Chain A
Amino acid sequence: MSHIKYLLLVSRQGKVRLMQWYTPLTPKQKTKIINDLTPLILTRKPKMCNILEYNDHKVVYRRYASLYFICGITNNQDNELLTLEIIHRFVETMDTYFGNVCELDIIFHFDKAYDILNELIMCDGSMAESSKKEILNNIHAMDAIQNNDHLDRVLS
């Protein structure tokens, strides 16, 4: 299994689009990680492998169009391939939810992206639900309740 320490979405320009920390870190450390990793990963060539070592842990990343999905995982303990698989599952799920997802979708609906991520990866950074269908069902159910809220509000 994979125990993800943090997940970052960074655009090709180095802008952070999403970040989720599964380990308590001070804001200073977070900024340091982002500032260190972004140039490291953005300068990597397409033929290079998607794993690199950073300080005491490994970083696995994958590029989808203009977005880099970056995961920090424990050295020697986690399965790098599985982490890539999880990233892919996340992208697939978002793709189905938004319908051909692009960077703008994630920018404007970042809370939805977080919701999907929360369904997919549990708070401790481990994969919670591998079924795409299940995740989408849950998200849609939540959206339905939310819409009911809106309706209630208008009717009241």
Chain B
Amino acid sequence: MTSLYAPSAEDVMQRLRPYGFFFEKSLKDLIRGIRSHNDTPEQLEMFLEAQLSECRKEANSSNMELKTNAILKLTYLEMYGYDMSWCNFHILEVMSSNKLQQKRVGYLAASQSFHKDADVLMLATNLLKKDLKYANSNDVFKVGIALSGLSTIVTPELAKDIVDDLFLMLNSSRPYIRKKTVTALYKVFLEYPEALQSNFDNFTSKLEDPDKSVVSATISVICELSKKNPAPFIRLSPLLYEILIDIDDNWIIIRLLKLFTNLSKIEPKLKGRLLPKIIELMDSTNAASVLYEAVNCIISGNMLDETDYDVAVQCLEILHNFCNSQDSNLRYISCVLFYKIGKINTNFISQYDELIMKLISDVDISIRLKAIELLRGIVSEDNLRLIVSTLVKQFVGDEVAIVETSRGVSKEIPIVIPETYKIKIVDVILYICAMDNYANVDDFEWYNAVLYDLTIVSLDLNENKLGTKIGEQLRNLMIRVPDIRNITIVNIIKITSLESVEIKLPSILEGCLWSLGEYSTYLENGDALLRLLLKKAPHMQYTTQSTTIIALVKLFITWCNRNQDQAVQIKAILEKLVNFLSGLNYSKSFEVQEISLQMYEILKLSLEALEEQADGFPLLLSEVIPSFFNSYELTPISLGTQRQLPKGIDFDIDLPFLTNEQLDEVLKGQESLAEEDTDIYDSDRFSLASVEHNFISNADYSDGSSDSDGGKEHFDDTYKDFIDESCEVEHKKEMLSNPFYLGNINDTNNNNKVKDILDIGDDTKEDSINSADIMKLSKDHAELKSQVEAKKKKNKMKKKTKMKVLSDQVIVIPGVTDSVKLNGRKKHVSPSNSLLSNKINLKKHTKLEDYNFDNSKNDNDEEIQELEKLRSKFQNQNLDNVKMDDNNNEEEVIVIKKKKKKKSKKDVPSKKSKKDHKSTETTPEVSAEPLIDNAKSE
């Protein structure tokens, strides 16, 4: 039985508490609890939830000790992702405690949890003002804590209120406080740049402070400020230069170099004084970080000109040493600097090809990622093959890094090649090969093989952009390198017929299909390809589909004109085509719908004509549709040409394409030609060939086509040729796994197979569409092909003659200024940037960045005076309106506050505009508003 006076458990706890006895869970208990409840996530979750509600209770208690303890625990729990902003007011209470321990906890919690919480900050202002008062020696740390805390929670309003107190403290006798104040001012300046403007000299005088740590802090702050806005600090440069010469502290030297980098960016005159000093520093110091910073200062501070070979060599020597060091960090940062130097002048780095080749095989992928960017600086005709083969080999991914463990045992760790790096490889290979209109590629068959390999690799990379790029390369090859079109087209067919390419890498098809359609004359049996494409087309993307439709029509026209005698098959294919197009007539994509409808109607007409005209070949197919596509050869045209076209050209729409006489002639000719149909095609081709300038001579065509019997043999020859070439391709692995790379072993078998397929009738073809079957090259080109072959052999003998690569045609239209011309190729596009989606951006825009320090002090004073006037006016009015009800009063204040905020946020382009701004907006705002309210209340 308990006596009436016996203390309850609660009382006992209360009495013991001052002696340091706690019955609530301390932070230690919390951490131990977390560690012991670590078995399952659910268990931990439950434990933490329970703790959290306990903390909530404790934080609400009136006991300061308890409250502090709870806040400390909550701060710890915040690291586990539990929001603590609900207890901001409790934090404020703890912050206001007189005990240093509690204050420390309070400020710690505040710095983690106050995020522009306007209500709390308003209350915190007074507290901060109080805490910043320095009374006795014990207060040093109180002030220090308050300063640290202040800078994490500062807002423009708070900055404005507190800035005067801070400037007073700059003159404190304690270096510790001066140092902390200087750094705290940094955050204040960011939020409230006006403060820096009015106290510039006061602040920068700290550069001459007797205490080194204060100087160091001041330099840090100026350095940081100069990142945002270097202009006002230019005039400090003589003083800073003195410090740089005198000081021997590496920490400060590095900061000074950073600062000079920022200043030199906008003040080129600094270079003359600084550069000799920096070079001297580079010679004298041994510290890697100082060396690195010095080189960085020269490069980033625009102190290196394009022609400055001596300085460049000196910098590059240092970087060269870094790159050869064991420290992977040094290798990485010097790679980055290498890139920057290369950007200034590529010639600087061109001699470091060996080093860069070493770096792209570094054990560290992040170094490779950097080094791979450098390749474009060192690539040349001689080393292109080596570079590409080194890079492609990395796809295989069986490299290992040898790591020495702590016990001196070396261990092999496989290097994991991330997908981003693989994408980058493909990207870079394409870039360095296509550079300067294929200046570095000496063998386009090799490049074809590379493109094929890259396609295979890209299939698994899940990056659609690569497909577009490879497709563009194939198309470019097709257009620009006429000598190897027949090889490229085989390559394109192989790629198009890859299994599920339309799903895995749909973007590659656009370029491929366009080429197939445009150069369909190179293909012998277009029907097989047509069947294949018809099978694939329904699975394609809309954008690809619209290209496909045109390509299909082109292919069909070329093929049916060449095989006019096989009316049955033509009809069969045409029906299929019409069927396919009718399916697309209701496509969701407007573009596809339009094109398919157009083609559908025309082909349907052709089909009807074919059915009616049993004896001959319809004119529509032999003349009209080909004329859509074959009037002239397409050539590469430089970027921006279209923009130069004069506007508002008039067309005579009424003029008929053919006069009546011409029409009669054509019709007559049609009739007569129908009898010997093979010749039509030839004549058509002649006219085509005569237009082509850089193309094969007419003789080739006529020779080839007249020799119609030898088609199969020719085909066999070409195919064999291709097999021979493919043997040269370096990547054996892919060769084996890929049915289209036919190794030596399968050579004869496959040849037989090809023959078999050819012998089998057309009926079976439909079921087994084989890409080898489609790959029949036009017999016309077999001859040409053998010529190329001969040429190639000659090349191999010794002298390498470059293949002709068509360059961009520049069409000059009279009367158009040259300034419109674009150098699109020179544009440097870094591909990696676009890969990043939903970025976190650390670069915060601060007011300081666009704050104009040029306003001279006088103007400023004038402005302040004006502002004062307005204020007094406003106050008077307020006094007059005392009767006004509270609501109205509050509203009014808020309105004005908002206006002020806006004003301070705005750029201040010149003093005049600011003044105008004020006189037009602020004054009526202040004077007019209460008047209306007055009228209402009266």
The answer to whether B100 and A142 have CB atoms under 8 Å apart is yes
The answer to whether A52 and B366 have CB atoms under 8 Å apart is yes
Does chain B have a CB within 8 A of A100? no
Does chain B have a CB within 8 A of A98? no
Among all A-B residue pairs, the 6 with the closest Cβ atoms: A123-B151, A49-B328, A1-B255, A81-B289, A122-B183, A49-B332
Does chain A have a CB within 8 A of B187? yes
Contacts A47-B403, A122-B148 given: A131-B333 contact, CB under 8 Å? no
Does chain A have a CB within 8 A of B300? yes
The answer to whether B844 and A80 have CB atoms under 8 Å apart is no
Does chain A have a CB within 8 A of B695? no
Contact residues of B between 422 and 470, Cβ < 8 Å to A = none
A80 to B331, CA, bound (A): 12
CB distance from A156 to the nearest CB of B (A): 7
A56 to B255, CA, bound (A): 22
CB distance from A80 to the nearest CB of B (A): 5
| Chain A interface size, under 10 / 10 to 19 / 20 to 34 / 35 or more | 35 or more
The answer to whether A81 and B333 have CB atoms under 8 Å apart is yes
Flag B280-313 by CB within 8 Å of A: 1 or 0 each.
0000000011001100100010000000000000
Contact residues of B between 169 and 221, Cβ < 8 Å to A = 176, 179-180, 183-184, 186-187, 213, 216-217, 219-221
| Chain B interface size, under 10 / 10 to 19 / 20 to 34 / 35 or more | 35 or more
The answer to whether B31 and A107 have CB atoms under 8 Å apart is yes
Flag B240-276 by CB within 8 Å of A: 1 or 0 each.
0000000001010011001000000000000000000
Contacts A45-B413, A124-B186 given: A111-B289 contact, CB under 8 Å? no
Flag A89-120 by CB within 8 Å of B: 1 or 0 each.
00000000000000000011011001100100
Contact residues of A between 113 and 141, Cβ < 8 Å to B = 114-115, 118, 122-124, 126-131, 134, 138, 141
Name the prevailing secondary structure of the B interface residues. Answer: helix
The answer to whether A23 and B184 have CB atoms under 8 Å apart is no
The answer to whether A56 and B101 have CB atoms under 8 Å apart is no
Please tell me which one of the listed residues B83, B187, B328 contacts residue A123 in the complex, with CB atoms under 8 A apart.
B187
Contacts A45-B413, A55-B840, A84-B329 given: A1-B220 contact, CB under 8 Å? yes
Flag B113-156 by CB within 8 Å of A: 1 or 0 each.
00110000000000000000000001011001001101110000
The answer to whether A47 and B183 have CB atoms under 8 Å apart is no
Flag B349-367 by CB within 8 Å of A: 1 or 0 each.
0000000000000011111
Please tell me which one of the listed residues A80, A82, A110, A150 contacts residue B20 in the complex, with CB atoms under 8 A apart.
A150
Please tell me which one of the listed residues A21, A123, A146 contacts residue B101 in the complex, with CB atoms under 8 A apart.
A146
Does chain A have a CB within 8 A of B936? no
Does chain A have a CB within 8 A of B99? yes
The answer to whether B842 and A51 have CB atoms under 8 Å apart is no
Most chain B CB inside 10 Å of its own CB: which residue of A51, A52, A129, A134:
A51
A81 to B296, CA, bound (A): 12
A123 to B401, CA, bound (A): 40
The answer to whether A56 and B184 have CB atoms under 8 Å apart is no
The answer to whether B18 and A24 have CB atoms under 8 Å apart is no
Does chain A have a CB within 8 A of B487? no
Flag A43-79 by CB within 8 Å of B: 1 or 0 each.
0011111111101110000000000000010101101
Does chain B have a CB within 8 A of A42? no
The answer to whether A111 and B105 have CB atoms under 8 Å apart is yes
The answer to whether B328 and A56 have CB atoms under 8 Å apart is no
The answer to whether A131 and B213 have CB atoms under 8 Å apart is yes
Contact residues of B between 57 and 116, Cβ < 8 Å to A = 72, 75-76, 79-81, 83, 99-101, 104-105, 108, 111-112, 115-116
Does chain A have a CB within 8 A of B731? no
CB distance from B907 to the nearest CB of A (A): 22
The answer to whether B148 and A118 have CB atoms under 8 Å apart is yes
The 29 listed contacts between A and B (C-beta, < 8 Å) are A1-B219, A3-B224, A21-B112, A23-B842, A33-B840, A45-B415, A49-B366, A49-B367, A51-B332, A56-B842, A57-B842, A74-B842, A79-B254, A80-B329, A85-B289, A108-B28, A111-B72, A111-B104, A122-B180, A123-B150, A126-B223, A128-B183, A128-B213, A130-B251, A131-B213, A141-B140, A141-B141, A146-B101, A153-B20
CB distance from B136 to the nearest CB of A (A): 12
Contacts A56-B842, A134-B213, A156-B18 given: A142-B333 contact, CB under 8 Å? no
Does chain B have a CB within 8 A of A17? yes
A110 to B26, CA, bound (A): 13
Does chain A have a CB within 8 A of B839? yes
A58 to B621, CA, bound (A): 63
Please tell me which one of the listed residues B31, B111, B186, B844 contacts residue A108 in the complex, with CB atoms under 8 A apart.
B31
A19 to B333, CA, bound (A): 26
The answer to whether B220 and A149 have CB atoms under 8 Å apart is no
A53 to B79, CA, bound (A): 24
Contacts A45-B413, A49-B366, A145-B141 given: A154-B220 contact, CB under 8 Å? no
The answer to whether A127 and B151 have CB atoms under 8 Å apart is no
Contacts of B220 in A (CB 8 A): 1, 122, 126-128
The answer to whether B19 and A29 have CB atoms under 8 Å apart is no
The answer to whether A18 and B100 have CB atoms under 8 Å apart is no
Contacts of A107 in B (CB 8 A): 31
Please tell me which one of the listed residues A5, A31, A47, A149 contacts residue B401 in the complex, with CB atoms under 8 A apart.
A47
CB distance from A98 to the nearest CB of B (A): 15
A107 to B33, CA, bound (A): 13
Contacts of B841 in A (CB 8 A): 55-56
The answer to whether A23 and B367 have CB atoms under 8 Å apart is no
